[in-house]
Amino acid sequence: MFTGAIPQHPVATTDKTFDELGLSAEVIEAVRAIGFVNPTPIQAAVIPIAVTGRDVIGLAQTGSGKTAAFVLPLAERLTHGKGVRGLILSPTREIALQTQAFLEVFGKGHGLTTACLIGGVRMKPQIDALRAEPDIVVATPGRLLDHVKRGNVKLDHVEELVLDEADHMLDLGFLPQMREVLRRLPRVRHTTMFSATMPDSIEMIAKEFMNEPARVDITPVGGAAEGISHRLYLVKLEDKRNCLLALLHQELGSTLVFVRRKIDAEWLFHILDRQGHPVTRIHADRSQGRRVEALDDFRSGSHRILVATDIAGRGIDIPGITHVINFDIPESTDDYVHRGGRTARGASEGVVSTIATWQDVPMVRQIEAVLGEKIPRCTVPGIEPWVESDRPAARTRRNRV
Ligand code: AMP
């Protein structure tokens, strides 16, 4: 389980100290207790602004230390015992649970209590948690609205709002639910929003629901994380599976395999399982319990391979993933960056291998434009590479999830 356990792996930090960021002694004590010595760039930039109560937009990805960047100001500004005054919207259950783990540690000094409202699990324990009058709710938008509509929770005293991975929430189709939640909140409040990218739809939300936000951008140039080697395997459609199997024999580290559709996650899982690979899978059709179990198995190393769809795979914070394989090319360049961000987390290094066919070449070119470099073409023994010509590639066929 994530709960109560903050993931800890190497991350690039600044030479600033937490004492310089405007945090109180109690909160700094909690930071020290878990062993954070210096703030990361996003923490150093966001915390001093957020503790003053000014709205902030942070452009940062998972792995940059952004969770603590919003949890610390929240822990600083809220005190225990006046009903739900902090609300954090997260795109996925996994990210919500990770956030709750941070809240439990950093909120201790002010006695802050948290309820986590995520879909796919029973309502009853969540209703019990709400009856205990938590100070902070961390929730995925759909489940939160369920509770609001049933009268289980009131949001009219929320003072602190965090929209985490806002672009990801939009990608998942949460815009209507997000708007509905935002409309129910008091107008006077403090809002912090994080996003890896700033598409127009996010600018729109910022304009409509935030108050002259300060903008902090620490995304690496080109949008891709450092420490990642990219490789491209151009093959015929019928060779994709054998290419994957060959890659899995070549690279023996902890490997995350991305597919586009839930049905393909199941299909690939069964193929790899039958071949004797220690594999598990995570996608939106699996129950919360099964998803947590799969992540635990992957994290502990008992299963070296995790097959995931984008929805389930984004935001996974597991140290030691050495290899990300795109079995299906991502639907967008943002997804490519996010998938790749699951490896080379913090200071370590990783490989992102993309298996692509001629139909994927237009997307490959877009990805290369974002990376600012051509991805090296690679081959695996026994599989004939598909050779690119200079003629314009045909349009990509899109399979929706
Ligand atoms: P996040 O981007 O919030 O998912 O954080 C990425 C990882 O960095 C997590 O494993 C955190 O526990 C870790 N982390 C966050 N801030 C710090 C810090 N200031 N010093 C050391 N590790 C940190």
309 DSSP assignment: -
The closest of 165, 135, 167, 159 to 55, measured between CA atoms, is: 159
317 CB less than 6 Å from ligand 1?
A: yes
Least confident of 190-194, 257-261, 293-297: 293-297
In this prediction, residue 198 carries a pLDDT of 78
90 CB less than 6 Å from ligand 1?
A: no
For the chain, what percent of residues have pLDDT higher than 70? 89
In what side-by-side order are the strands of the sheet with 190-195? Answer: 114-117, 136-139, 86-89, 160-163, 190-195, 56-59, 214-217
In this prediction, residue 242 carries a pLDDT of 94
Least confident of 1-10, 84-93, 123-132, 369-378: 1-10
Is the pLDDT at 401 greater than 50, yes or no? Answer: no
Atom of ligand 1 nearest to the CA of 61: 2
168 phi/psi in degrees, rounded to 5? -65, -40
In this prediction, residue 96 carries a pLDDT of 93
Is the pLDDT at 334 greater than 90, yes or no? Answer: no
The pLDDT-based confidence of 360 (bands split at 50, 70, 90) is: very high
Q: Could you report the per-residue pLDDT of 298-328, keeping only the tens digit for each?
A: 988 899 999 999 876 666 767 788 899 999 9
Q: What is the mean pLDDT of residues 9-31?
A: 88
How remote is the CA of residue 4 from the centroid of ligand 1, in Å? Answer: 15
Q: Whose CA is nearest to atom 18 of ligand 1?
A: 36
Instruction: Considering only residues 168 and 141, tell me which one the structure prediction assigns the higher pLDDT.
Output: 141
Q: What is the mean pLDDT of residues 78-101?
A: 92
Q: What is the mean pLDDT of residues 329-336?
A: 90
In this prediction, residue 234 carries a pLDDT of 94
Sheet strands (E) in 3-73: 56-59
Residue to substitute in 36, 103, 314 for testing ligand 1 pocket (most ligand atoms within 8 angstroms of CB):
36
41 CB less than 6 Å from ligand 1?
A: no
The closest of 263, 264, 245 to 255, measured between CA atoms, is: 245
In this prediction, residue 10 carries a pLDDT of 61
Is the pLDDT at 226 greater than 60, yes or no? Answer: yes
Residue to substitute in 67, 74, 95, 338 for testing ligand 1 pocket (most ligand atoms within 8 angstroms of CB):
67
Q: What is the pTM of this model?
A: 0.67
Q: Are 34 and 5 in contact (CB under 8 A)?
A: no
For residues 272 and 248, give the distance between their C-alpha atoms in angstroms, rounded to a whole number: 10
In this prediction, residue 229 carries a pLDDT of 85
In this prediction, residue 69 carries a pLDDT of 97
Walk me through the domains of the chain, giving residue ranges and CATH numbers. 18-217 (3.40.50.300), 228-400 (3.40.50.300)
Least confident of 32-36, 241-245, 274-278, 386-390: 386-390
Q: What is the mean pLDDT of residues 211-239?
A: 80
Q: What is the mean pLDDT of residues 337-364?
A: 85
For residues 38 and 393, give the distance between their C-alpha atoms in angstroms, rounded to a whole number: 48
Q: What is the mean pLDDT of residues 69-85?
A: 95
How remote is the CA of residue 183 from the centroid of ligand 1, in Å? Answer: 32
Give SS3 for 48. helix
66 CB less than 6 Å from ligand 1?
A: yes
Is the pLDDT at 3 greater than 80, yes or no? Answer: no
A 10 A CB-CB count for 220 gives: 11
Is the pLDDT at 197 greater than 50, yes or no? Answer: yes
In this prediction, residue 249 carries a pLDDT of 86
65 CB less than 6 Å from ligand 1?
A: yes
Widest Cα–Cα separation across the chain: 66
For residues 332 and 141, give the distance between their C-alpha atoms in angstroms, rounded to a whole number: 23
Handedness of CA 75, 77, 81, 85 (dihedral sign): negative
What integer best gives the mean pLDDT of the chain? 87
Highest average pLDDT, of 25-29, 47-51, 172-176, comes from: 47-51
Is the pLDDT at 57 greater than 80, yes or no? Answer: yes
A 10 A CB-CB count for 274 gives: 9
Is the pLDDT at 100 greater than 70, yes or no? Answer: yes
Q: What is the mean pLDDT of residues 132-161?
A: 96
320 CB less than 6 Å from ligand 1?
A: no
Is the pLDDT at 141 greater than 60, yes or no? Answer: yes
Is the pLDDT at 4 greater than 50, yes or no? Answer: no
Q: What is the mean pLDDT of residues 196-220?
A: 85
